């Protein structure tokens, strides 16, 4: 069975500080991982996908198969980054996303 773990429910950092949101997964196949973000009173939005190795809004995430991790990082946090972040694993065979429990990021001024 697949599983996604986000160990931090809440994370606070100061503006300009680096931020890292942790995500670990358990999956027997080749993982396809995503980060989704939900800003206050907005819909869930796709932030980035590991297969595209892109940087969105300054965020990056690297898949580490050895550590089964897909941590989200940003070198300099901004107040507008405050949101709920979800790590998700896609199972091609089951055609479903398995979400972590989410991390509420607060960037303090």
Partner 1 sequence: KAGVTQTPRYLIKTRGQQVTLSCSPISGHRSVSWYQQTPGQGLQFLFEYFSETQRNKGNFPGRFSGRQFSNSRSEMNVSTLELGDSALYLCASGTGENYGYTFGSGTRLTVV
Where along the sequence are the contacts to partner 1 (CB under 8 A)?
32, 34, 36, 43-46, 49, 51, 86, 90, 92, 94-102
CA 8 – CA 101 distance, rounded (Å): 9
The nearer residue to partner 1, 13 or 56, going by C-beta atoms, is 56
Choice between 95 and 109, CB closer to partner 1:
95
Smallest distance from partner 1 to CB 101, Å: 5
Minimum distance between the CB of residue 54 and partner 1, rounded to whole angstroms? Answer: 11
Residue closer to partner 1 by CB (options 78, 96) is: 96
CB of 3 to partner 1, least distance (A): 12
Exposure b/e, 50-83, CB count within 10 A at least 16 = b: beeeeebeebebebeeeeebbbbebeebeeebbb
Closest by CA to 83, choosing from 44, 39, 21, is 39
Neighbours of 43 (CB within 10 A): 7
């Amino acid at each position: 069975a697949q599983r996604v773990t986000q160990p931090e429910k809440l994370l606070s950092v100061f503006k300009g500080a680096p931020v890292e949101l942790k995500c670990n997964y358990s999956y027997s196949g080749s993982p396809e991982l995503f980060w989704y973000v939900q800003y206050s009173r907005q819909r869930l939005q796709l932030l980035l996908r590991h297969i595209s190795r892109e940087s969105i809004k300054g965020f990056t995430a690297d898949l580490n198969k050895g550590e089964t991790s897909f941590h989200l990082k940003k070198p300099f946090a901004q107040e507008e980054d405050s949101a709920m972040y979800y790590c998700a694993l896609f199972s091609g065979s089951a055609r479903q996303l398995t979400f972590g429990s989410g991390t509420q990021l607060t960037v303090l001024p």
